[in-house]
Amino acid sequence: MYIILINELKHTTKEIFKILGIMAIAFWVIIAIIVIKYKPMYEVTLSGEKIGLIENQKEFENSLEENLININGKNVDNITLTEKPEYELKLVSRDEQTNEEEILTAINETVTTTYKCYAVTLDDNVKAYVDTFEEATKIVEDIKSEYENDLDLNLQIVEKYTQNMDELTTETVEVAENNISNEVEVIIEENKYVKINGVKLASMPIDVSYRLTSRFGEVSSIRNMSSHKGLDIACAAGSNIKAVADGTVIASSYNGSYGNLVKIDHGNGVQTWYAHCSKLYAKVGQKVKAGDVIAAVGSTGNSTGPHLHLEIRINGAAVNPQKYIYN
């Protein structure tokens, strides 16, 4: 009986080894089939969507980083990925091909690029954009050097960042310097003119040869010993008389001792009076600009010879014109 059991056990063991052998062969056959038909690759997804296959994740990531670093764009300051790719190792058909270039293109489309340029400001207003800090510095130094004796310029350099390439309208140093210099010239010209209560006196009333014959506050018998309320400017009869500032004509007629008189209201309580005219050109209600011809020099009214009697009045009170012109 023991012999029979031993023989059966031997038979069973042989059967088991036989089955195991068949299973091992099947396993290696399956492995061989897999190796022949499939290969391991990394599937790359972006925002959950498959965009391609790569063979080596590390090499691809290095290539991606190098690709981003080498993005050549004007004024590029920083590049960031708004969507990071994900990688999953898979067995795919050996017919499948990698498409790294397409994957890089798809990833680059999700890149956020920050651009930087430099603004040159004048009195806190941007006047030019240039590409580099060195260019901006040169502009500021050149302009300050040119105009340091004419004006205390508030020129600054400000960094500008944007993600919109269309906002970058930079200029060359030469163009920027020229444009800013033109604006500085305007400021210098503006500063030549005096202002009274915010009213800019932008023109002389007489621009031909003249002499001052009677100053503000002088007392004489011709005025019945009353003080002179204006400034007398003697010149040839018929010479043009010009408005000293923008304003509205409020009087243009004969007015007693003033003779033919033009009055202009410039706003802010400021008026100018032009007396003893031979001719009156300006009309009541007319808007005039500084430098507009409003009358001609004469000797009408209480006058001893051709001259312009100019008065400047602030809130009705006569002030010395030589505080503002002919000083």
Of all residues in the chain, what percent carry a pLDDT higher than 90?
50
How large a percentage of the chain has pLDDT more than 70?
A: 86
Task: Tell me how far apart the alpha carbons of residues 176 and 119 are, in angstroms, rounded to a whole number.
Answer: 10
In this structure, of 17-21, 102-106, 138-142, the range with the lowest mean pLDDT score is 17-21
CA distance 167 to 106: 25
Give the distance, in angstroms, between the CA of residue 154 and the centroid of all CA atoms in the same chain. Answer: 16
Q: What is the pLDDT of residue 112?
A: 85
Mean pLDDT of 80-103: 86
Element (H, E) at 195: strand 194-196
**Beta carbons of 286 and 275 less than 8 angstroms apart:** no
pLDDT in tens, 281-303: 999 999 999 999 999 999 999 99
What are the phi and psi torsion angles at 56 (to 5°)?
Answer: -130, 115
> Kind and range of the H or E element at 3?
helix 2-37
213 pLDDT exceeds 50? Answer: yes
In 94-160, alpha helices (H): 100-108, 133-147
Domains of the chain: 38-109 (no CATH), 115-192 (no CATH), 200-323 (2.70.70.10)
Please write the tens of the pLDDT for every residue from 3-14. Answer: 554 555 455 666
| This prediction's pTM | 0.51
How many angstroms separate the CA atoms of 147 and 178, rounded? 13
8 A C-beta contact, residue 124 and residue 118: no
For residues 308 and 326, give the distance between their C-alpha atoms in angstroms, rounded to a whole number.
13
The DSSP 8-state label assigned to residue 281 in this structure reads: -
Using the predicted structure, report yes or no on whether residue 48 has a pLDDT greater than 80: yes
- Higher-confidence position of 190 and 127: 127
Residue 31, pLDDT score? 64
